[in-house]
Amino acid sequence: MAAAARWRPLVPWVSGLLLLLAALGLQSQLYSGQERTVTAIFMFVALAQAWNLIGGYAGYASFGQVVFFGIGGYFTAVAMTHWHFSFWTCLVLGGAVAALFGALIGMPLLRLRGHYFAIATLGVAEGIREVVTNLPDLTGGGAGITLPTVGDQATTAYLGNDGFYLLFLALAALAVLVSALVAGSKAGFALRAIHQDEQAAGAMGINTTRIKVLTFALSGLITGLVGATYAFQQVTIFPERLFDVDITVLMVVMVVIGGSGTVLGPLVGAVVLQFLSEYLRQNYTSYHIFLLGAIIIVAVVLLPQGAVNYVRDARRTGEYSLLANVRRYRL
Amino acid sequence: MTSFLQATLYGLLQGGLLGLIAVGFSLVWGVMNIVNLAHGAFVVLGAYVGWQVNDWIGLDPFLGMFVAAAVLFGLGYGLQRWLINLVVNGPVFITLLLTFGLDLMIVQAMNIAFSADYRSIPTSYAGNSLHLGGVRVPVGRLLAFGVSVAVTLALVALINRTRTGLSIMATGMDRGAARLMGIRARHVYALTFGIAAGLAGMAGTMVGTVGTFNPAAAGGYTLLSFVIAVLGGLGNMYGALIGGLVIGLVEAWAGQYLSGTWINALAFLVLVVVLIVRPSGLVGRAYYAARLEV
């Protein structure tokens, strides 16, 4: 019994490692269409984890999170096309630029709370999209920009389905790892304290501004890395796609359905929702968005606290009834 | 000078209509603390209702908009009464996601029912113009502006001067106390949402008369309502009208003097600056969205 208790903290790490190995082993079993689907799942795992840092732990609902995705992607596109950087340099610098941008806009915007923060970040994302659209000499404008991936101009050989599978898997693993490390660290407790009562957290000696800005930058870094990789994968990118507000909304949906403020929640949410969305797309072509909307509504009504939090609470209290769940937030 | 006057006039006319588009969004947010992501879908749905009755019986859109308002009021009342009330006490993400799901369903249903083609509600007069000393005044837009301002003022009167309106206001200020005074909060919430949806539908029919619409336009109207509601501030029915006029003018002037789509960037710049300098909006009061729920 004592031995079991000693090994218990290792269980999440070991299961995470096994999951990573399983994902690596899965690759050889997939044909290319399936491989692309699973790659998209990895991408959203990383994005959902990044959003969860600021939206889940700290409780600051960033509705302009996609701006980091777009900045990472466009930095990569511009640097590879005009300055002939290799993709790997762009990946690192794109992430860094996104993180820096997060810190810069975080300082004024993280003073706002609740809906106001949500809208201000949304405004920034829409504004940056317009800036990118209106600089056609640099970014190609609304007509898009094509990254040099073949011929003499190519600075880095195109990675192909297999390469992107591994790269997005690595990003997803990195995002889960960061989330797990933050959750267990002093910073993670500080963020949760801010979520519950920011004034009290400040009174306890937490430098709330610093920790919020750093978390926002970290969240921007991961999102920027994913955006940079996405731009290289897509080859031709457009402002409408790279700054698409739907990408932000998907991150939020995945985190909330999975369970916000947990390490496992965004992972579960991203896998389930992306898989379900792909299944519906293939089997109910014209109705799939309608069905997806209905599923989101049902999930929000029945599991408002997210799947992971529901299971954890239900195991502790023995209360498995979904109706009790509905009663909680009902008027 | 004439071009400046023309742009200013166009901005004001457009701004009044934008105010009516956003006023319901602002009402729902101020009273229930719900950011309704399906608001733009209600606007476009209103345009389709107006288009449909015009197609069936040739009803003039400026009468058809009352049909649209009635249909959307019923839809909004039902949605709030039996669906959104189930989660209304949850954290902000929850209502946000629920209305996002509704938005997906309504937009896709419109896509299936009406296709993604651009449409416009035809009238014999909306395209005509009056001439006032070199400035052109489009009749359709002038009518839409007049109706929008009148309806917004009627809403202000309804909220401030009737029992129903006061019960909406009271529920928005302190729901617990309002319930203790015998106000049926579930019904009042449903009524508020119904009024908001009805006004959105009315505005939608006018949008469809002075311009074109398709299901994909829904997201844009939601975003615009967001910006206008924040600019004007919550908790004040004039807020949306003022926010709408500001955005209408900014966009019209920017369209006159700036190239490309810098207009949109400017609207968001105005928004972010207002948020940082004056988070409660131009005429709003801060406590509305930040208060505790009982």
> Three-state SS for A284?
coil
Average pLDDT of chain B?
Answer: 88
Could you tell me which residues are beta bridge partners of residue B135? B132
CB contacts, 8 Å: A330 with chain B? 85-89
CB contacts, 8 Å: B264 with chain A? 126, 130
For B153-197, the DSSP string reads HHHHHHHHHSHHHHHHHHHHH-HHHHHHTT--HHHHHHHHHHHHH
Contact B101 A296 (CB under 8 A): yes
- Tens digits of residue pLDDT in A12-55: 888 889 999 998 888 888 888 889 899 999 999 999 999 999 99
Q: Which domain holds residue B247?
A: 2-290
Mean pLDDT of B182-197: 96
Highest mean pLDDT among A20-34, A65-79, A145-159: A65-79
- Tens digits of residue pLDDT in B232-244: 887 677 889 999 9
Name the closest residue on chain A to residue B272, using Cα atoms. A120
How many whole angstroms separate alpha carbon A290 and alpha carbon A270?
19
pLDDT of residue A163: 92
Taking CA atoms, A297 is separated from A253, B79, B98, B200, B203, in Å, by 11, 12, 5, 22, 27
Q: Among residues A238, A244, A264, A268, which one has the least CA distance to residue A254?
A: A268
Could you tell me which residues are beta bridge partners of residue B131? B136
**Distance (Å) from the C-alpha of residue B260 to the closest C-alpha of chain A?**
7
CB B37 within 8 A of CB B93: no
pLDDT of residue B279 exceeding 80, the answer is no
**pTM of the predicted structure, to 2 decimals:** 0.86
pLDDT of residue A297: 93
B81 pLDDT band, cuts 50/70/90, is very high
pLDDT of residue B285 exceeding 80, the answer is no
Supply the ipTM of this predicted assembly. Answer: 0.87
B31, B85, B97, B221: best mutation site toward chain A, by most A Cβ within 10 Å?
B97
Q: How far from chain centre, in Å, is Cα A42?
A: 10
CB B193 within 8 A of CB B84: yes
**Distance (Å) from the C-alpha of residue B58 to the closest C-alpha of chain A?**
31
pLDDT of residue B291: 42
The set of residues, in sequence order, having a beta carbon less than 8 Å from that of A11 and lying 6+ positions away, is: none
The set of residues, in sequence order, having a beta carbon less than 8 Å from that of B58 and lying 6+ positions away, is: none
pLDDT of residue B290: 43
pLDDT of residue B260: 65
- Tens digits of residue pLDDT in B12-35: 999 999 999 999 999 998 888 888
B293 pLDDT band, cuts 50/70/90, is very low
Q: Among residues A128, A67, A56, A127, which one has the least CA distance to residue A99?
A: A67
**DSSP symbol at A156:** S
Among A136-150, A208-222, B159-173, B204-218, name the one with the lowest average pLDDT: A136-150
CB contacts, 8 Å: A289 with chain B? 104, 107-108
* CATH number, position B59: 1.10.3470
Q: Where are the domains of chain A?
A: 16-329
CB contacts, 8 Å: A252 with chain B? 93, 96-97
A108 compared with A103, residue with greater pLDDT = A103
A327 pLDDT band, cuts 50/70/90, is confident
Among A110-114, A158-162, A190-194, name the one with the lowest average pLDDT: A110-114
CB contacts, 8 Å: A113 with chain B? 290
Name the closest residue on chain A to residue B104, using Cα atoms. A293
Contact A116 B275 (CB under 8 A): yes
Q: How far apart are the two ends of chain B, measured CA to CA in Å?
A: 55
pLDDT of residue B83: 95
pLDDT of residue B219 exceeding 70, the answer is yes
Q: Could you tell me the fold of the domain covering A16-329? A: ABC transporter involved in vitamin B12 uptake, BtuC (1.10.3470)
A65, A300, A326: best mutation site toward chain B, by most B Cβ within 10 Å?
A300
CB A145 within 8 A of CB A153: no
Q: How far apart are the two ends of chain A, measured CA to CA in Å?
A: 46
Contact B35 A115 (CB under 8 A): yes
Taking CA atoms, B3 is separated from B69, B141, B266, in Å, by 36, 18, 20
pLDDT of residue B147: 96
pLDDT of residue B259 exceeding 80, the answer is no
Contact B96 A252 (CB under 8 A): yes
Hey, which residues 209-248 in chain A have their CB within 8 Å of chain B?
245
Quote the percentage of chain B above a pLDDT of 70: 93
Establish, for the pair of chains A and B, how many residue pairs have beta carbons separated by less than 8 Å. Answer: 145
Name the closest residue on chain A to residue B220, using Cα atoms. A245
Among A77-81, A185-189, B237-241, B282-286, name the one with the lowest average pLDDT: B282-286
Average pLDDT of chain A?
Answer: 90
A137, A252, A297: best mutation site toward chain B, by most B Cβ within 10 Å?
A297
Tell the burial category of B6 from Cβ atoms under 10 Å away from its Cβ (0-12, 13-18, 19+).
middle
Torsion of CA A125, A188, A229, B261, to 10 degrees: 0
Amino acid residing at A8: R
Among A160-169, B20-29, B253-262, name the one with the lowest average pLDDT: B253-262
pLDDT of residue A2: 63
**Distance (Å) from the C-alpha of residue A287 to the closest C-alpha of chain B?**
8
Q: Nearest 5 degrees, angle CA A119-CA A124-CA A128?
A: 150
* Tally of domains within chain B: 1
Q: Among residues A213, A185, A190, A186, which one has the least CA distance to residue A201?
A: A190
Contact B89 A127 (CB under 8 A): no
Q: Among residues B100, B226, B259, B29, which one has the least CA distance to residue A299?
A: B100
pLDDT of residue B287 exceeding 50, the answer is no
Q: Among residues B188, B250, B256, which one has the least CA distance to residue B15?
A: B250
